[in-house]
Structure 1
């Protein structure tokens, strides 16, 4: 999925995820606090503000959360998904029924805060690869049920997406190779049985395995797993443009610049989604 396409995910696709989060938060009887203390018909304006600098993501999903609670709420996005923000900036304004705003507040902030945290971290990794051909990509190490939101956030941070699901492409990993009987055996199986429309990537962790892949053929991409930087450079030299190269494993922020300089095409980073903090956003009535 390309960045341009993914950034246009329709509400029809996003709505079940957001609706599920709202139902989880509402519980069996809705917002007991708001029902008890906010007079019916009270109208207000609320502002979502960034409490720290970063890259914004999740505004479209936050807006959807408010509108699912109450279609009459007027939601104005001030900082769009993918844009930078400074601490103290208002990123969204919501006007209308106060009770509706309060009922949508936490779900909207949960999505926007986590997604902005992912976008901010992704932007930092992308910055380290600047000036090279390497693209920073995420993985399937996402929060169950939130994959589409978290992968959107990677795009908003300037990164790219790996597979969305197991059905998107063939990715042959070490356990597949072991179960199939080796590198040659697994590639021969793919060549004889896979659809011609399905991209094939194979993981290797040694140059000897890479040599087997190059000799046998049948893969479009090779994943160079947990290799030292010098070994990555040699792997790129051996591939010599015959397939796309992806570096993976132990991809810390401080290592990205040297890995990107080896000439790899992609650097996949699980940490973009599996171990990231939220960007601190808050909602205040004004």
Structure 2
């Protein structure tokens, strides 16, 4: 798992600011005196789980170091509509220049955290952990993965460089080349470092024993029925971590967790999320 560094977060923010106003905010420059001041409050319009509050404040700081941001809550905290999550005070042009990017990032991160928390609550009392996938917004993976953690979820491998995960396309290519699955796993073990984890995805029960016997760390049971998941867990018998994937939503996740799997990966946490409605209520005064 790769944690978000300040440099990486700043890079995302700087690129977003450049995209939003490549030659400055011509509207604020035309309508607002350079000396105008603004105060603003970050207020949610709906309940949720907060994520990205530090990112929210950092946007204003990168636009204008003299803008003061007071944070009234922390990432991972639940909130209700109408509470003040942060207060902002500074040059009006700077506040409006940062507003949209600060809201875009914190709204999306809070949406991910809120959805993740619903999945985590749905599997409470089981052994299953809710994890994300690589189905993230290009360029925003670090922030979206943080949001999953803020919602109580767990991160899967961060990138293709972090762990070996042989999926259906890999296995199809192996089959076409005449290499058996067990042989391929044993060769992979020789090629990778002893610290690198190895996971293999299967889509049939008759693949489970060969994969586990070959020595994987995790076996992913993809698009299995509930009965097949239970049988797969029994076949693995604790010899590897069992991950369930495919067909996971808020209506199915509790039943999937009840089969005894260790991990449930949910692409929807990041690829199908709705941003939380956060508003920045701004008051502009003469400087």
Asked if Structure 1 and Structure 2 have the same fold, meaning a TM-score greater than 0.5 normalized by the shorter chain, the answer is yes
- Within a 5 Å distance, the mapping from 1:10-21 to structure 2 comes to 10-21=5-16
1:192 maps to 2:176 = no
**After superposition, what is the alpha-carbon deviation per residue over 1:230-279, rounded to whole angstroms, capped at 9, x for unaligned?**
11111111111111010000101111111111111100000000011110
Instruction: Tell me the CA shift for residue 214 of structure 1.
Output: 2.4
Equivalent position to 2:99, from 99, 105, 115: 105
Equivalent position to 1:214, from 212, 215, 239: 212
TM-score, structure 2 normalization: 0.95
Equivalent position to 2:61, from 62, 67, 84: 67
1:79 maps to 2:73 = yes
Instruction: Tell me the CA shift for residue 281 of structure 1.
Output: 0.5
Q: Is contact 1:172-1:202 (8 Å) kept?
A: yes
Partners of 1:53 and 1:160 in 2: CA distance: 22
Give the equivalent residue in structure 2 for 1:89.
83
Partners of 1:118 and 1:54 in 2: CA distance: 10
Give the equivalent residue in structure 1 for 2:132.
138
Instruction: Tell me the CA shift for residue 119 of structure 1.
Output: 0.6
Instruction: Tell me the CA shift for residue 192 of structure 1.
Output: 2.3
Q: Is contact 2:212-2:219 (8 Å) kept?
A: no
1:53 maps to 2:82 = no
Instruction: Tell me the CA shift for residue 32 of structure 1.
Output: 0.4
1:240 maps to 2:234 = no
Partners of 1:46 and 1:218 in 2: CA distance: 57
1:251 maps to 2:248 = yes
Q: Is contact 1:151-1:161 (8 Å) kept?
A: yes
Instruction: Tell me the CA shift for residue 143 of structure 1.
Output: 0.6
Instruction: Tell me the CA shift for residue 185 of structure 1.
Output: 3.0
Give the equivalent residue in structure 1 for 2:17.
22
Instruction: Tell me the CA shift for residue 98 of structure 1.
Output: 1.1
Q: Is contact 1:202-1:223 (8 Å) kept?
A: yes
Partners of 1:183 and 1:88 in 2: CA distance: 56
Partner SS, residue 253 of structure 1 = coil
Partner SS, residue 254 of structure 1 = coil
TM-score, structure 1 normalization: 0.95
Partners of 2:194 and 2:172 in 1: CA distance: 24
Partners of 1:79 and 1:110 in 2: CA distance: 18
Partners of 1:56 and 1:268 in 2: CA distance: 22
Partners of 2:271 and 2:41 in 1: CA distance: 29
Partner SS, residue 156 of structure 2 = coil
How many residues matched?
279
Partner SS, residue 45 of structure 1 = strand
Q: Which runs of 5+ in 1 are unaligned?
A: none
1:168 maps to 2:162 = yes
Q: Is contact 1:190-1:218 (8 Å) kept?
A: no
Give the equivalent residue in structure 1 for 2:203.
205
Q: Which runs of 5+ in 2 are unaligned?
A: none
Partners of 1:49 and 1:128 in 2: CA distance: 27
Q: Is contact 2:60-2:102 (8 Å) kept?
A: yes
1:268 maps to 2:265 = yes
